[in-house]
Structure 1
Amino acid sequence: MKSLSSVCVYCGASSRVADVHKEAAHALGDGLARRGIRMVYGGGRVGLMGIAADAAIAAGGEVVGIIPEHIQSAEIEHTGLTELHVVDSMHTRKRMMVERSDAFVILPGGLGTLDEAFEILTWKQLQLHDKPIVIADVDGYWRPLLGLIDHMVAQGFARIDRSALYRVADQIDGVFQALGAMPDAAHPDQPRKM
């Protein structure tokens, strides 16, 4: 696998979550910085987003935030980042996050995180990119979702080679191991440009 210079982190903006999730966000941000990997994320200072960004910054890492104007206007943007890009829409935000990242890690989160996760998984399935995706199933958080994906496959609604599409790790150390174990390309064909 090519070395990673930047990883996109999808995660929740809520602080009303179990400590195990906060600890995982901190460990991921810290681990990215200590490995010299730039963190790309949604630009917020709250919830797991803020925890991961703060941990990366505290460890001397680079953190790039991309936040839409309508969210920035609520004054939840992180003001201590290496770069903060304020964009016109959620669509622009998600596109920029993909373009600026070599891989993706999906931490626990809510509907916004699900939206980002399914989009990046779908784009990979459609061969719009071939970048590694790791689902961080911290404390079994994503187990129901992973069961639903298995159900979709069993019912014939999806044909997924899970090992080529994504990896699952139940601890942050496992996330870094999975990123290192991902193949360069999940599909034999050349991915199409987005």
Structure 2
Amino acid sequence: MNITVFCSAYSLDARYTAPAAEFARLLGEAGHTLVWGGSHAGLMGLLADGVKEAGGRLVGISVELLAHKTYEGADELVMTADLAERKAQLLARADAVVVLVGGLGTLDEVTEVLELKKHALHDKPVVVLDTEGFYAGLRTQLERMDQEGFLPRSLAELITFAATPAEAFARLDRAS
């Protein structure tokens, strides 16, 4: 399975890196392909290293403005002209999407993927690894949107949340 992962390109505290490393190990050991932003920096680099060390394949989708941060050991590296094309490629290459902790870029990516899924432009599973309750606010907002009729599909059809790397991986296995 090609699993696109959205996450931070910044170096983070161990409470965030340890679960990401565990998810990377599970992904690689299962023989899946990581499709990610193609960066060697921060959590992105840690994820790629972990997948590669565990025997998985790496497909990086980067963008010209970040070419200086590309991961050297990717099995395939695609360079896009802009961030919009990068997001489109990340989704096009995915059989499933996993969201790890991240900043504005990650939030932008996951909301676009959900918007496209809402309109039935894809039906790929989207799983959020909610490490340390990082996405509790997003979850609360999405639940409110669902409860108050802002979503044409139920929230459970659009996205699932997992507390641990093993739970996130199990949700992917059930979806495939």
What is the TM-score of this pair, normalised by structure 1? 0.86
SS, match of residue 69 in structure 2: coil
| Residue identity (%) | 34
- 2:106 alignment counterpart: 113
The gaps in structure 2 that reach 5 residues or longer are none
The aligned residue for residue 128 of structure 1 is 121
- The secondary structure found in structure 1 opposite 2:121 is coil
Alignment of 1:14-29 (within 5 A): 14-15=10-11, 17-29=12-24
Mapped pair 1:48 → 2:43 = yes
- Corresponding residue for 1:83? 76
Per the alignment, in what secondary structure is the counterpart of residue 40 of structure 1? strand
1:190 corresponding residue in structure 2: none
Alignment of 1:37-76 (within 5 A): 37-72=32-67, 75-76=68-69
Unmatched segments (≥5 aa) in structure 1 = 185-194
1: CA distance, partners of 2:174 / 2:157: 11
- Secondary structure of the 1:91 match is helix
The answer to whether structure 1 residue 12 and structure 2 residue 8 are counterparts is yes
1:38-87, Cα deviation, whole Å (9 max, x unpaired): 00000011111111001011112101001000111xx2111111111111
Count of aligned pairs between the two proteins: 176
Question: Is the 8 Å Cα contact of residues 118 and 151 (structure 2) preserved in structure 1?
Answer: no
Helix, strand or coil at the partner of 2:34? strand
What is the alpha-carbon root mean square deviation over aligned residues? 1.3
Which of the two has higher C-alpha Rg? Answer: 1
Residue type at the aligned position of 1:14: Y
Check if 1:33 corresponds to 2:41: no
Q: How does 1:92-107 map to 2 (within 5 A)?
A: 92-107=85-100
Structure 2 contact 146–155 (Cα < 8 Å) conserved: no
Greater share of helix: 2
- Give distance in 1, aligned partners of 2:147 and 2:33: 38
Structure 1 runs, 4 residues or longer, greater than 2 Å off:
151-160
Measured in 1, the distance between the counterparts of 2:172 and 2:57 equals: 19
Q: In structure 2, what is the equivalent of residue 175 of structure 1?
A: 168
Q: Aligned partner of 2:59: which letter?
A: V
